[in-house]
Amino acid sequence: MNIAPPTRRELVLVAVLFLSILYYSNLQLRNALIVTPVSPPVIPHRPAPVDSLVEKTPRVYDTRLSWGDDAVPASKVLSHVPGWSIIDRLYLLGGVVYIVSDDPESVPDTSTMYSKGIHILPGKEHEDSRLPGDEDIRIVSTAEAKKLFGTGASVIDGVTYFVNDHPQFIRHYYHWSAELYFGFWRTYSSLDPSISTEGNTTLPQPRHMFFNRLDAFRWRDPTDMNQLVLRSSFPDVTMEFIDDWDDRAKMNVPFVFDRVVLADRSAAMISYNYKRYQRTAAAPFALPGSFNWWMTIRNSVIQMAGMDIEDGSSTSDKPVITYVSRQAWGRRTLIPEHHDRLVKELYRLRDTYGWEVNVVLMENFSRMEQIQLSVRTTVLLGVHGNGLTNLLWMRPTPRTTVIEIFYPEGFAHDYEYTARSLGITHYGFWDSASFTSPNTPVNYYPDEFQGDKIPIDAEAVGRLIYDRLTLSLEVDD
Ligand SMILES: *[C@@H]1O[C@H](CO)[C@@H](O)[C@H](O)[C@H]1NC(C)=O
Ligand SMILES: *[C@@H]1O[C@H](CO)[C@@H](O)[C@H](O)[C@H]1NC(C)=O
């Protein structure tokens, strides 16, 4: 076939076409650059290198509160319930705690704030032996303070959590995270009743934790959870223990705390809420507070475990049921056949409704995995015990539920009160009977409470779980 050579007209057309393609593609490239600029990567802001922390103007450190010839600045009790107090300018001299006030009537009785911090045993006689004396705490006038302290005191700056407790109730995940730490944050957060669901708060982080009755190795719990909770919620808090307290006492010079949140277990035990619930952390719930008060701590802890604050079972997600088994413990366990039936019932729910069911021994999980699983869990189920402490990390929604099994007639408020104070529904079970607040029984430990013959009616539990998860909810979360 013979192909005619291109005419001049054709050559011109091809050239025009080529140039237009070039022009338009260039235009598009430029438009692209103009219309959708590439956004710079979001780098979380942190005041970085040490250079920027160097101050330009030399100054002396603020190590002293000096009043010279003036009156000693008075202490101020900002907030108080038995066992939990927030005090500005609490003084310390020779191992004695001082509240400086010319209006001692306005200061709560020292026995509701402080004690001898000794081992707690039941009975009136022991209760009396724990009451504080002049060698522990004193309320003094500004004139007396002047004689004692002289012209100034060394400052312990920022907010200090101060624990005047014997080690007895500290080395335990529940007693630390759901009681001491819980009570501290509940007390302190009463100063910010507007904490948001994200946990945003105007409160500065505590700078220090003081334990004046405790050796450094005696605050960690056997599962290492206490450390994890502290280091993830307040990563830069410094801690002092009995040796440090003694160092300061022996110097015999005055120190002053900017602000302390003071906890005393023995003093909290005289509160109505303690008598009612056997929980020292119940006392600060008499103070104002945000509904979201715990979110500041919870969100830091779960983020450290790699979860997002939005994670967790919402009312529309597939529910997750987690049964924390204690059967391997040989103590406070279900009748073996009842445990088997319960597991079968849970698997029946899973197979019928497509819900996720986990039957777990918490000790088989790493600490991170425990937290991750709790965040995802909608219904947490188990016999009364420390495995339920992880309810602290659940996402409180209208259907989030904790189901706690007791030996019939036995009851303790530990997890019930904890769940309720986080906005989580709690049900107790006595075999086939269930109860929930406000119809909770009184604290009672029958002989079989700790035994290995706890009965449970698996179908009754299944029915309650079904009701909780299919509840028609008016509020969306
Ligand atoms: C909470 O704080 C975060 C980060 O500081 C901010 O992005 C968010 O808007 C705050 N939320 C509220 C309700 O203040
Ligand atoms: C827990 O771990 C032990 C030992 O590794 C294992 O025998 C047991 O089956 C595990 N139990 C559960 C419920 O995962």
- Which residue has a Cα nearest atom 2 of ligand 2? 364
DSSP string, 172-185: SHHHIIIIIHHHHH
3-state secondary structure of 234: coil
Question: Confidence class of residue 21 from pLDDT cuts 50, 70 and 90?
Answer: low
Tokens of 120: 């707690």
Distance between Cα 365 and ligand 2 center (Å): 10
Q: With CA atoms as reference, report the closest residue to 423 among 400, 451, 390.
A: 400
Atom of ligand 1 nearest to the CA of 198: 1
* For residue 215, pLDDT beyond 50: yes
What's CA 13's distance to the chain center, in Å?
76
Question: Confidence class of residue 33 from pLDDT cuts 50, 70 and 90?
Answer: very low
Distance between Cα 40 and ligand 1 center (Å): 21
Q: Residue length, the chain? A: 477
3-state secondary structure of 90: strand
Tokens of 398: 């209208």
Question: Confidence class of residue 460 from pLDDT cuts 50, 70 and 90?
Answer: very high
Atom of ligand 2 nearest to the CA of 363: 1
Q: Which residues contact 60 (CB under 8 A, 6 or more apart)?
A: none
What is the phi-psi region of residue 385: left when phi exceeds 0, alpha when psi lies from -120 to 50, beta otherwise? Answer: left
Distance CA 296, CA 234 (A): 10
What pLDDT shows up at residue 476?
A: 45
What pLDDT shows up at residue 477?
A: 44
Of 26 and 349, more confident:
349
Distance CA 399, CA 319 (A): 9
Distance between Cα 197 and ligand 1 center (Å): 10
Question: Mind listing the pLDDT tens digit for each residue in 368-425?
Answer: 999 999 999 999 999 999 999 999 999 999 999 999 999 999 999 999 999 999 999 9
Share of the chain above pLDDT 90, in %: 76
Share of the chain above pLDDT 70, in %: 88
Q: Exposed, middle or buried by CB within 10 Å (0-12, 13-18, 19+), for 435? A: middle
Distance CA 100, CA 91 (A): 8
Question: Confidence class of residue 217 from pLDDT cuts 50, 70 and 90?
Answer: confident
Question: Confidence class of residue 56 from pLDDT cuts 50, 70 and 90?
Answer: confident
Question: Confidence class of residue 315 from pLDDT cuts 50, 70 and 90?
Answer: low
* For residue 31, pLDDT beyond 90: no
Distance CA 385, CA 81 (A): 28
Distance CA 247, CA 263 (A): 21
| Average pLDDT of the chain to the nearest whole number | 90
* For residue 41, pLDDT beyond 60: no
* For residue 440, pLDDT beyond 70: yes
What pLDDT shows up at residue 276?
A: 83
* For residue 266, pLDDT beyond 80: yes
Averaged pLDDT, 290-295 = 96
Tokens of 78: 């900002």
Sign of CA dihedral 353, 422, 416, 325: positive
Distance between Cα 357 and ligand 2 center (Å): 16
Of 314 and 103, more confident:
103
Q: Which amino acid is at 349?
A: L
What pLDDT shows up at residue 20?
A: 61
Range picked from 162-176, 221-235, 249-263 for highest mean pLDDT: 249-263
What pLDDT shows up at residue 99?
A: 98
Distance CA 390, CA 92 (A): 37
